[in-house]
Amino acid sequence: MPGSGVVHVIDDDEAIRESLAFLFKVEKIPFETYSGAEAFLTHVSQAKGCVITDVRMPGMSGIDLLKHLRAANNPMPVIVITGHGDVPLAVEAMKFGAADFLEKPFDDELLLTSVRSALSSQATDQENQALRTAIEQRMARLTNRERQVLDGLVAGHPNKTIAYDLGISPRTIEIYRANVMTKMEAASLSDLVRMALTAGAFSGAATPDSPKVS
């Protein structure tokens, strides 16, 4: 059985598998590669470490794999790789417990940071509560409109859809989105989604007593 620090790379794209294999060899991080989720499940039933999987694959998708692991009470962190058009699927994966998602083409250092975080020990309950409190404090600084934009982003909607739903221009959404990222201190969209889910803050709408847009 692979060790606890093994990265399990699952992707039907051979070029992606080879690229990640080279990266992990250079970084001296143990890894295994699989051409599909079924192959991973066949060879590794109770593996420890973390998984990197494409969200779209023939047969079992990355989300289906994540659901399977969670149904089997396997807490292994899963990092989802997605194309630009698959961000809504990646957001859905995070709602099912994915540790992170990365859009192609992704930066090697960003991937390594995500992998090392996934391989590290679980945070204590005290640390989790402190993180949740910090996130809630940041969310309290959002205006009503910024909260609506945040809800749209967490739902996986593109800027144009959020703009249509709110009756404002896509350019204005970009401004609100930038404000949300700044106030939430989010380094990426996946970071922002993770914060909202950690705080249990996805409601689909801002609260009536939220601050008004100035």
pTM, 2 dp: 0.63
In which residue ranges of the chain is pLDDT below 50?
1-3, 122-123, 125, 203-214
Q: What is the pLDDT of residue 47?
A: 65
Residue 211 lies in a domain: no
* Residue 63 belongs to some domain of the structure: yes
Is 212 a member of any domain?
no
pLDDT of residue 46: 57
158 contacts 90 by C-beta, under 8 angstroms: no
pLDDT of 210 reads: 35
For residue 191, what is the domain's CATH number?
A: 1.10.10.10
**92 phi, psi to nearest 5 deg:** -60, -40
163 and 178 belong to one structural domain: yes
Instruction: Evaluate whether residue 209 is within a structural domain.
Output: no
Is residue 182 located within the same domain as residue 139?
Answer: yes
In a domain, 210, yes or no: no
Containing structural domain, residue 79: 7-119
